[in-house]
Structure 1
Amino acid sequence: MEFFNKTGKVALGSRLRMLTEKITEDAAQIYQLYNIEMQPKWFPVFYVLSVGEEKTITAIAKEIGHSHPSVSKIIGEMGKKGLVVEKKDKTDGRRNMVSLTKKGLEITVKIQDQLTDVNTAIEAISAQTTYDLWKAMEEWEYLLEQQSLLSRVAEAHKKREAGKVTIVDYQPKYKAAFKALNEEWIARWFKLEAADHKSLDHPEENILKKGGHIFVALYNDEPVGVCALVKMDDPDYDYELAKMAVSPKAQGKSIGFLLGQAIIAKATALGARNIYLESNTILKPAISLYNKLGFKKIAGRATPYERCNIQMELILPV
């Protein structure tokens, strides 16, 4: 087990597979010991049919937690050995019902001693262990049902990548990136409008000098995301979150969320009452991000953008 001592828990799947293979290999020989014609992988299907009435493949799959194709394949293998038979449902000719044959029913009697002895052996192993494997498996299964291992790893990956992102204030050297990143996403979904050109071509004059701010997200010192806090000339709203754009190659690193947090922190520091934004519902990830940041949908207001079909606001703490 030196390999697993080196790799640690990241090789959990490999270690479980090795344990499963060892137990499955023994199980196959145990069936031979009791002169029972059975393969270990057939047992869940066999057991379900041995303790109940005939069932459909779908019902069997649901009960044992296997896929329909997997159970269908096992039924086919067991059928070739004469252990099960499929018949049309008498009440619904569209369904096939699976049941044990006479040969299969005979095994239900023969296998009882084997099951008793296997249980005795497993209990003996459990009595010699510090930890209860069965209960641990139940806990793992429950937790993985709540959130898969894939989802958990993706979450850790996103958090680690986000740690490599730095949010900095706008500088003239980022002007080209501010324009290019915004043009990239706008052109992908919509068309650039007059209001876009005004802000993107002259951000210093139309955003910064009017009391606004621009933040740039750097990943490995490369600008991969931008967002502006625009001062509004409006009695109801103080600032607008605008021109948020993240490079497709840098997505999955929480850059949009980090930029949004920077915008909110800046507006709060400036004593703003609220932040307003405009978007389009076709941009589902963006809308999800705004909701995560705390923005709420509001009634429609006049907008200079044709693409705008949703407006949102964030009320800041006093």
Structure 2
Amino acid sequence: MDIFNRTGKMALGSRLRLLTSKVTEDAAQIYELYNIAGFSPKWFPVFFVLSETEEKTITEIAKEIGHSQPSVTKIIKEMTKAGLVKDKLNSNDKRRNVVGLTTEGTSLAKKMIEEQCADIDVAIDEIINQATNNLWEALAEWEFLLEQKSLLKRVKDQKKLRESKDVTIVEYEPKYQSAFKALNEEWISTFFEMEEADYKALDNPKEYILDKGGKIFVALYKDEPYKDEPLGVCALIKMTDQNYDFEMAKMAVSPKAQGKNLGWLLGQTIIDSAKQLGASKIYLESNTILEPAINLYHKMGFEKIVGHQTPYKRCNIQMELNLEK
């Protein structure tokens, strides 16, 4: 269809549904061709699984065919009404709904496998041999790849990548002091309480961070409606601890800019800066309720450690990044 040439890959789902519709329409007529009237094509996965064993629970069937339990329950009811399945078979556990094929269902399965399935296999092979690409193998490959990483996750990643190109990371200037404090105060107050160590660094970033050999970076978005507005900040704080050169701290991203990859870009800038300053290890503190942040740190290469002293009550996890690995 020309419409799919115009829409491009955006219409993948629509195109697959159209193909599925064509195959399903033919499938209903194929059942009639083999004198299996009234058999719904959507029953086949459940019917096939039951044909391989005497009985199974609805939960087991749902897991095996990748359907929801309510969906399988509905199919079982329809197949029971058609006389192909008997449910509520004997079970030691009354909570388990065990089902199996009736004598009629077993007889139909034998006939279907010997005749209909054999003919369909040959017909599908004929299409595969005529086609440039093997759809059956491609489907298996796509299913595997989407299981590893869903289409939604892939689109989210591309959205982040595209939007991150509109982000500029700049070094701190006095004009960003209010944003540095406000962004940090916003997230800290959302989950915890501001502490004395927070006020020292946020009220006096020059004295407590920059003058001691640290750096602060600010993320700016170049397009409207946030043009040149500080939407994220992060600090690289010089440490006196003999085990660590710097601490990555005071990372904060505005809620309105979340999902634009600012945290990753700020973190990578901090790591690159630490390397340029000759650092061998970077330390950080966080809290495990901040799951997205912890996942981000793991993605950057940070690993959990224990035993380091902290001035913050909210800290319940400490991590380090070895830059020499």
Normalising by structure 1, we get a TM-score of 0.89
Give distance in 1, aligned partners of 2:242 and 2:96. 68
Deviations 1:8-60 (A, max 9, x none): 22221111110110111111122223331211111222233334313222233
Matched, 1:172 2:174: yes
Listed one character per residue, the Cα deviations across residues 72-107 of structure 1 (whole Å, up to 9, x for unaligned) are 111111111222222431544443332333433443
Q: Is the 8 A contact 2:54 2:101 kept in 1?
A: no
Residue pair 1:225, 1:244 contacting (<8 A) in 2 also: yes
Q: 1:258 aligns with which of 259, 265, 283?
A: 265
Which residue does 2:11 correspond to in 1? 11
Supply the distance in 1 between the matched residues of 2:127 and 2:306 (Cα, whole angstroms).
Answer: 66
| 1:136 alignment partner in structure 2 | 138
Give 1:234 shift.
4.9
| AA partner of residue 98 (structure 1) | V
Instruction: String of CA shifts for 1:271-316, please: whole Å, max 9, x gaps.
Output: 3344333333333333333333333444434443333344444444
In structure 2, the residue matched to 1:64 is 65
Cα deviations by residue, 1:130-174 (Å, 9 ceiling, x for unpaired):
221111111112222222222222222222222222110112221
Q: Secondary structure at the match of 1:124?
A: helix
24 and 192 in structure 1: CA distance in 2 versus 1, 3 angstrom threshold: same
Query: Which AA in structure 2 matches 1:63?
Result: E
Evaluate the alpha carbon distance shift between residue 133 and residue 313 of structure 1 in structure 2; reply closer, same or farther with a 3 A threshold.
Answer: closer
Query: Paired residue for 1:151?
Result: 153
The alignment's TM-score, normalised by the length of structure 2, stands at 0.87
Kindly indicate whether residue 90 of structure 2 is the aligned counterpart of residue 83 of structure 1.
no
> What amino acid maps onto 1:205 in structure 2?
E
2:285 is aligned with what amino acid?
A: E
Q: What do residues 195-251 of structure 1 show as CA deviations (whole Å, max 9, x unaligned)?
A: 222222222333223332210011232211101222345555443322111112222
RMSD (Å) for aligned C-alpha atoms = 2.5
SS of the residue 1:88 aligns to: coil
Is 2:91–2:98's contact at 8 Å kept on the other side of the alignment?
A: no
State how 1:1-318 maps to structure 2 within 5 Å: 1-37=1-37, 38-108=39-109, 110-111=111-112, 112-220=114-222, 221-234=228-241, 236-317=243-324
CA distance in 2, matches of 1:36, 1:51: 19
The worse-fitting range, judged by mean Cα deviation, of 12-21 and 39-48 is 39-48
Structure 2, unmatched stretches of 5+, are 223-227
- Structure 2 letter corresponding to 1:28: A
CA distance in 1, matches of 2:242, 2:47: 74
The alignment-based identity, stated in percent, is 65
Q: Which runs of 5+ in 1 are unaligned?
A: none
* Alignment-mate amino acid for residue 210 of structure 1: K
Instruction: State the alpha-carbon separation in 2 of the partners of residues 100 and 52 from structure 1.
Output: 9
Q: How many corresponding residue pairs?
A: 318
Which one is further off, 119-128 or 294-303? 294-303
